[in-house]
Structure 1
């Protein structure tokens, strides 16, 4: 079996999921599309939770997942803040935190972007003020 291809055969004849990184990308796309269509996090949380499960289920792929999350920082559009914040509140990966801090420190960075990066950095704290917006963290 090719080591770059991991097949997960789902019960009841559902289609197999070949690559966890591709699965994660698809879930992120779903989340970003949903974020464009809605204003609340209620509709987003199912996608955010699915993305988090993929990240947690595949620790051996952490470097690839970190790259995926860091690449989202290049274009802060609807949903990116939520995807990064939700996952990093749970996982707290230093590489992603460093990448956010680097984005803030770039000379000439847009002030609005600095604020949005700051919102993502807050998620690395136990006292993240937005945690209560999500069922997972408001328990």
Structure 2
């Protein structure tokens, strides 16, 4: 029976679920929502779900870091918001170093440097975009 539930993100804390696959499913949902909407209000529920998965599975941090770094290279709509939101809370140095590396040695369009700078800014307590998100504006 548990195998049927493996792909389900609606089951909270299901032991049979693959947290990395669940995280990527949530990421895909956030990015799809970002394509369809403006502003972060619509993204925040998905961002909170993604953060919860990362926080509940610290033993998988290396795998999660790889997925987040792959995201920063894609720069799809919603990636800056996702990486910024997650890293403002988690402050993973590996991800910060990867973003800073893209600033120092841009891959492709140099105008992406501004997007990378926005992501690095999220690692700071004084992140200028923090008040766009309900989680941080209430603090």
TM over 0.5: yes
2:99 matched to which residue of 1?
100
1:37-48 aligned within 5 A: 37-48=36-47
| Contact 1:17 1:23 survives alignment (8 Å) | no
CA distance in 2, matches of 1:108, 1:77: 15
> 1:70 and 1:107, CA in 2 relative to 1: closer, same or farther beyond 3 A?
closer
CA distance in 1, matches of 2:22, 2:57: 11
| Contact 1:36 1:79 survives alignment (8 Å) | yes
Question: Following superposition, which runs of at least 4 residues in structure 1 exceed 2 angstroms of deviation?
Answer: 107-111
- Mapped pair 1:111 → 2:110: yes
For 2:21, what is the secondary structure of its paired residue?
helix
RMSD after superposition: 2.4
TM-score (norm 2): 0.86
1:72-111 aligned within 5 A: 72-106=71-105, 109-111=108-110
Higher helix share: 2
- Any stretches of 5+ residues in structure 2 without a counterpart? 1-5
| Contact 2:47 2:82 survives alignment (8 Å) | yes
- Any stretches of 5+ residues in structure 1 without a counterpart? none
Question: What is the Cα deviation at residue 111 of structure 1?
Answer: 2.7
> 1:108 and 1:52, CA in 2 relative to 1: closer, same or farther beyond 3 A?
closer
1:63 matched to which residue of 2?
62
For 2:73, what is the secondary structure of its paired residue?
coil
User: How many correspondences in the alignment?
Assistant: 131
**CA-to-aligned-CA distance 1:34-86 (integer Å, 9 cap, x gap):** 00000110000000000000000100000000000000011111010011000
> 1:28 and 1:17, CA in 2 relative to 1: closer, same or farther beyond 3 A?
farther
> 1:108 and 1:74, CA in 2 relative to 1: closer, same or farther beyond 3 A?
closer
1:133 matched to which residue of 2?
132
| Contact 2:68 2:83 survives alignment (8 Å) | yes
Question: What is the Cα deviation at residue 106 of structure 1?
Answer: 1.4
